[in-house]
Structure 1
Amino acid sequence: MTTAELPAETRPALEQLPLATRQDGTYPRPQMMRTTWADLDGIWSFRHDDADVGLDAGWAAGWSADAPESRAIMVPFPPESPASQVAEAGFHPVVWYARTIGPDELASAGRSGAAPRVLLHFGAVDYRASVWIDGVFVGSHEGGHTPFAFDVTGLVGDDDTHRLVVRAEDDPHDLTQPRGKQDWHEDAHAIWYRRTTGIWQTVWLEAVPASSIEALHWLPASPSTVELSVRLRGHVPTGGSLRVSLRFDERDELLGTVEVGLVGPARVVHITVPVARQRNGQAEDELTWSPERPRLVDATVTLLDAHGDPVDAVSSYLGLRTVGVGGGAFLLHGRPYDVRSVLNQGYWPESHLAAPSPAALRREVELIKELGFNACRIHQKIEDPRFLYWADKLGLLVWGETPGAYEFSTLAVERLTREWLEAVDRDLSHPSIVTWVPFNESWGIQHVVDDPAQQAYARALTDLTRALDPTRPVVCNDGWEQQNTDIISVHDYEGDGAVLARTYADAAARERVVTGIAPSHHPQFVGGASDAGQPVMLTEFGGVNYQPGASRDDAWGYTSAADGDDWIARVTGLYDAVRASSFLAGSCYTQLTDTMQETNGLLTADREPKVAIERIRAAVRGTV
């Protein structure tokens, strides 16, 4: 039975999917939900393949549980982490995973006559993944931080059990791979951490109709207009249409419905959705999104056939908000907004780059807000989209940043550009993301000061980001050596608050900071670029080392405190300097948590405040 053949009283249920605001934060793709899915996380079979013999030995077809060196692993935790139950942090450039898929998983995924096709999703596999089912090659993906999916319909029967096998290749010495803070040494050192190899985000199954909605991109064009791009999969229904309904669930208020016809075989449909009640400027704040009032608008997008019957439907959400820069300020809804941010490495002792649980992602957002921040910079990591859901839901500005490579070459440029494009495509619709950061501290462009090729690359990727998303500011090379940047971002780890106050005091100080050699001892601009009046932000500062209780010998920070009172006094002094500046438009403290040997967090690695959280919040906000 096809969807169109369902009884009339059943068809509307497709358009009444669970609203995004009612989800519990476990759905792995929070801005495009269907009613059913099958979680494939849990215990898998696992093997290291240090000699890279698995392909020739036939491991792609699977292996028995008693195979030599076969062991259990808890997916999605990387094998370097304790949570994986493997916990081997040495060099293992090739690893293999296997598990069965059977009728129960397919039923949970929602496979039926109305949804006959089966998609196999991977949240992220670091770095290069190849996938087989019953020894048949399904496909491959390169890029350690972005999602991918395969249509496996013809390979999985409803009444059979099948063997799913994944090979992950992650060369720890290949510096052309975008890796962020993952160390290329065997042991973590300085500001780099244990590696993450293989599967580290959720693996899941989803059943969809033969003609279905593949992706949604929401871009608020103004407080009263939303631009939606819908990407379709499969055959586009002749004479079909797309219906978009927006609802503000807090008031049970239908904001509007738009239906557009599908023209020809076009697989990408652009829709303008007016929000009529927002046209009155006196009332537009009632629906807009901000950290203080994170109102979300629920959406249902339905694909209809030529008879007007639903073929597919997904639930989504968006936030009505605009961001930009102007007059030396960061702008939210056209008004200056003080960005009070914290650097977040997104790293846990037990699970490394993978969150220990979906609930931990929510708690991370809650802690950031409880500490007095209204923003965070996800540092050198493309974070789990469920973190972004909670940032959307609870109200937290986010700077989205690419994990850097550490080599400049044709291959490195190709790899980072492709992965960055996938990251922006994945996260474009989140209202919480307000700034893009394609480079940090010249990582991967180490000679950008005097190399025209590296300068061209930095400018080009910054402009390419704008081409993909013209609605958000883009920072070109956060920290120093910048060119076509929308925000002049400065890194300064001066530990004396009085000195920091003088550095950022007034207009004359601003001139000194943004021209010539910056406090980082790097030129602030390169390639002929210069100050054009952009807002200036101190996007890395602080980094004060303090270890309550037992200390580690390899502890690292930019400056150190003797005890808790000394530590909070230093943090307060640094924030007093930021608040005293006449021109800083925002700041980002380093960092949220201790991470391995980096003991300069406001919280311990286990997310415990180093002094009473009220004292930290008072330092950050300047109030009790």
Structure 2
Amino acid sequence: MTTEHLAAAGHPRPQLIRDPNWNDLSGPWGFAYDDTDIGRSERWQHSADPFDRTITVPYPPESKLSGINDTGFHPVVWYRREISTALPVGGRRLLLHFGAVDYHATVWVNGQLVGEHEGGHVGFSLDITDALNTSGTQVITVRAEDRPQDSAQPRGKQDWEAEPHVIWYHRTTGIWQPVWLEEVPALRIETLHWTPDLPACRVRCEIKLNDWPSAPHRLEVELRLGTEILASQSARITGRELHLDIAVPALRHGQDLERLLWSPENPHLVDAAVRLNDSEDAPVDHISSYLGLRSIGTRDGRFLLNTKPYFLSFALEQGYWPQSHLAAPAADLRREVELAKELGLNGIRIHQKIEDPRFLYWCDRLGLLVWEEMPSVYEYGTTAVHRVVAEWTAAIERDRSHPSIMAWVPINESWGVPNLAERAEQRHFATGLYHLTKGLDPSRPAISNDGWEITAGDFWGIHDYHQNPDVLRRRYEHDALRRGDLRELWPNLKRLLLDDPQYTGQPVMLTEFGGATFVPAEGENWFGYGTVTSEDEYAEMLSGLIEACVDSGLAGYCFTQLTDTEQETNGLLTEERRPKLPMERMRAILRRSSHVTGH
């Protein structure tokens, strides 16, 4: 790894690194339950007395690694941490970053309110400089409200019942991603985005500053592949935002692209250095970043990667660990990507979760395609609409520079829009989310509602858990897909298409299928879509289903699922990440699709 990649590997914000020596606030914090919601009226932000427990951040209190391990209903929790930090000098500022706090966070520093944030899956940052004590000892207090019965809250697969049931699992309350401090210049680069444009042999760099500069500044961008400088460009910036198109001459050599382009097989990353200088050319801010040169598209019923047909071999990824729930130990983020690669998969569909940016870094670095999906609400209404739109927008804006992300999915299986076929407003919402997504990022495919009741989409995702490979093969044979004759496939299930979207060559993919589990022990709580009794039967089931997908007119598959999750015991791997067949045997089955990339 290069020095830049080593720094990015552990950084909570790997595509915008200002200083690799960031101040990690993970570890022990004071903790308190506030079941009667009296903390604000009793001003807990001013006292250490209520904090009678210790929690290990960033693990949620429901998990074992947190040290609390209480899965009961506790809708309001509080955190407290004393730190030592001096006041920034020379006009610099101190930012407090939260990777994710589920669901509504209120933050005080030294008893002074510094900000609030709603949304449990995407992070936020607060400038705490003006609340700091001159003594150097600072107290951070966080109140997190996460009500299990709030069905208009984006919660994904977190259960609203006391114990996990069917396909839902334990809740993740409060802080569940890194908390960290960063000292920054007063004027700084706030957001940074990369969009490659391979046909034009360029990369678009989008910069947003935290404030308007008082005088024109100069932005310098350098792109490197190893020691080779691919591009170096500068521009004058007079406002808060700048869109800079950077020519990459090396992309013009059509026979020399493989060493440049990102793919799961060759995940080349380009290092980027971005410098902001003032009107006298003195340095103001310096960012280390990275990007991948690649294109994603669709044509003639196929997904395209770097303009070539590419068959998708995916598994559904819950992003859930038995000891820590949605919050993975840092080392496990890399290992999860490695396991998917070892199985022979070229991608994963993150299900009902916005993943940690550190996980996306390893997908970028090691080469694994990702579908990003919005965690669902369960009740439609104006509150749900506002919440979903706000958090989905934030997720796309945060993650759209990751080369591994190839598709956006704002709704799954009509969750949150249960009357989609009957209610026009729900159809408008689903279709509106598709158009919002494409408005924010037109460079990737998106779908309004994955699984069925599709109102708009660049591809059509179908969930079909039939366990007979011959039935699947007949349902998805080439001619029917090419005609777009998909209504006939679902005579007893929900309609696949709504508002009669026209078939114009969209890829059709089984985005959920399979899902068989070993016959459980008597009395065991389990969930699956079928059962097998032995390793040989499991291998026969898996091989038959994969071959049916490969032999069909489908553009790819997503097997349910990568790992077991609580009682949902239908993973390729157990909860402890052990394969249910010898790894080489399972890999040989799943790699069957690697030979049909151009199919």
Q: State the TM-score, normalized to the length of structure 2.
A: 0.96
Counterpart of 1:170 (choices 140, 143, 146) is 146
Mapped partners of 1:51, 1:74: distance in 2: 23
Aligned amino acid, residue 264 of structure 2: P
Cα 1:163–1:510 shift into 2, 3 Å: same
SS in 2 for 1:270: strand
Mapped partners of 2:500, 2:477: distance in 1: 27
SS in 1 for 2:372: strand
Cα 1:237–1:299 shift into 2, 3 Å: farther
SS in 2 for 1:99: strand
Report the CA distance between 1:280 and its aligned residue.
2.0
SS in 1 for 2:555: strand
SS in 2 for 1:131: strand
Mapped partners of 1:333, 1:358: distance in 2: 31
**Residue 152 (structure 1) aligned with residue 125 (structure 2):** no
Counterpart of 2:503 (choices 531, 548, 557) is 531
Report the CA distance between 1:32 and its aligned residue.
0.5
Mapped partners of 2:403, 2:389: distance in 1: 23
Report the CA distance between 1:576 and its aligned residue.
1.1
Report the CA distance between 1:237 and its aligned residue.
5.0
Aligned amino acid, residue 110 of structure 2: D
After the TM superposition, which residues 485-504 of structure 1 pair with which residues of structure 2 at under 5 Å, given as runs?
A: 485-504=457-476
Cα 1:501–1:218 shift into 2, 3 Å: same
Report the CA distance between 1:552 and its aligned residue.
6.6
Counterpart of 2:73 (choices 88, 91, 112) is 91
Question: Runs of 5+ in structure 2 lacking a partner?
Answer: 595-599
**Residue 260 (structure 1) aligned with residue 243 (structure 2):** no
Please tell me whether the aligned partners of residues 75 and 145 of structure 2 are also in contact (alpha carbons under 8 angstroms).
Answer: yes
Aligned to 2:394: 422
Aligned amino acid, residue 189 of structure 2: I
Aligned to 2:314: 341
Aligned amino acid, residue 591 of structure 1: Q
- Cα deviation, 1:357-389, whole Å, max 9, x if unaligned, reads 211000000000100100100000000000000
Please tell me whether the aligned partners of residues 61 and 163 of structure 1 are also in contact (alpha carbons under 8 angstroms).
Answer: no
Cα 1:33–1:512 shift into 2, 3 Å: closer
Report the CA distance between 1:529 and its aligned residue.
2.3
Aligned amino acid, residue 496 of structure 1: N
Report the CA distance between 1:516 and its aligned residue.
4.8
**Residue 308 (structure 1) aligned with residue 245 (structure 2):** no
SS in 2 for 1:146: coil
Cα 1:458–1:234 shift into 2, 3 Å: same
Counterpart of 1:197 (choices 173, 178, 193) is 173
Report the CA distance between 1:200 and its aligned residue.
0.3
**Residue 602 (structure 1) aligned with residue 550 (structure 2):** no
Please tell me whether the aligned partners of residues 19 and 298 of structure 1 are also in contact (alpha carbons under 8 angstroms).
Answer: no
Mapped partners of 1:184, 1:48: distance in 2: 18
Aligned to 2:56: 74
Report the CA distance between 1:612 and its aligned residue.
0.3
**Residue 59 (structure 1) aligned with residue 44 (structure 2):** yes
Please tell me whether the aligned partners of residues 221 and 273 of structure 2 are also in contact (alpha carbons under 8 angstroms).
Answer: yes
Mapped partners of 1:448, 1:312: distance in 2: 48
Aligned to 2:249: 276
Mapped partners of 1:388, 1:320: distance in 2: 16
Report the CA distance between 1:19 and its aligned residue.
4.8
Counterpart of 1:40 (choices 18, 21, 25) is 25
SS in 1 for 2:287: strand
Matched residue count: 591
**Residue 458 (structure 1) aligned with residue 434 (structure 2):** no
Mapped partners of 1:518, 1:134: distance in 2: 59
Mapped partners of 1:194, 1:39: distance in 2: 27
Report the CA distance between 1:132 and its aligned residue.
0.4
Q: State the TM-score, normalized to the length of structure 1.
A: 0.92
Aligned amino acid, residue 332 of structure 2: A
Report the CA distance between 1:515 and its aligned residue.
2.2
**Residue 352 (structure 1) aligned with residue 336 (structure 2):** no
Mapped partners of 1:157, 1:236: distance in 2: 28
Mapped partners of 2:413, 2:372: distance in 1: 15
Aligned amino acid, residue 227 of structure 1: R
Cα 1:21–1:114 shift into 2, 3 Å: farther
SS in 2 for 1:367: helix
Report the CA distance between 1:23 and its aligned residue.
2.5
Aligned to 1:3: none
Question: Runs of 5+ in structure 1 lacking a partner?
Answer: 1-17
Mapped partners of 1:517, 1:130: distance in 2: 49
Mapped partners of 2:377, 2:408: distance in 1: 17
Report the CA distance between 1:522 and its aligned residue.
1.3
Aligned amino acid, residue 489 of structure 1: G
Aligned to 1:578: 549
Mapped partners of 1:519, 1:114: distance in 2: 69
Report the CA distance between 1:142 and its aligned residue.
0.2
SS in 2 for 1:369: helix
After the TM superposition, which residues 183-262 of structure 1 pair with which residues of structure 2 at under 5 Å, given as runs?
A: 183-222=159-198, 224-249=201-226, 252-262=227-237
CA RMSD of aligned residues (A): 1.8
